[in-house]
Amino acid sequence: MQNRADKLALIVEVPAGKCAIPLDQVVETLRPLPIESLAGIPDRVSGVALIRGTPVPVVDLGAVFAGSPQSPGGRWVTVRTGERTVALSVERVIGIAEIPPSTLGTLPPLLKSGCADAIEAMGNLDRDLLVTLSLARLVPDSVWQALEPGEPSR
């Protein structure tokens, strides 16, 4: 039985290991769709895909941890970040797990400078290293601005 303090998370795998995505932010999992590139976006954002009629940025979750684009993922996980939706490209979806807070710790100082905007905490799941994600800052504001409808040109 789930303890009230335990968090349910969707566990996914990327080349660097396993990640936990808060289940209350997951919309759906799906097969990858065609992606349109955008100029001037960070490496971790693969581009934009049309998902259910809406342009959605696609974040290469492997690149978030490796620092450079990885091979295309086998699955996508769409998540809510506030009022916006982001697709996360992952190698595979493992399943849902309860994450007891006692298994998670704060980031070591060395890791805080690298991808701290994307990582909430690190811990373990069974005998594997587990990274829990903070989804709010995965997509830079410049990408969201590029997706905003602009004023009509004159």
Secondary element (H or E) of residue 105: strand 104-105
For the chain, the domain total comes to 1
Query: Residue 148 falls within a domain, yes or no?
Result: no
In our burial notation (b when 16+ CB lie closer than 10 A, e otherwise), range 25-42 reads: bbeebeeeeebeebeebe
Secondary element (H or E) of residue 147: helix 141-147
Query: Residue 100 falls within a domain, yes or no?
Result: yes
End-to-end CA distance of the chain: 61
CATH for 17: 2.40.50.180
Query: Residue 149 falls within a domain, yes or no?
Result: no
Q: Which domain holds residue 47?
A: 7-140
Query: Residue 2 falls within a domain, yes or no?
Result: no
Query: Residue 28 falls within a domain, yes or no?
Result: yes
Q: Give the separation between CA 106 and CA 66, rounded to whole angstroms.
A: 20
Query: Residue 152 falls within a domain, yes or no?
Result: no
In our burial notation (b when 16+ CB lie closer than 10 A, e otherwise), range 52-76 reads: eeeebbbbbbbbbbbeeebeebebb
pLDDT in tens, the chain (154 residues): 444 456 888 999 988 788 888 899 999 999 999 999 888 888 888 999 999 999 999 999 888 877 666 666 799 999 998 888 999 999 999 999 887 766 665 555 445 444 556 666 556 666 666 666 666 666 777 777 777 765 444 4
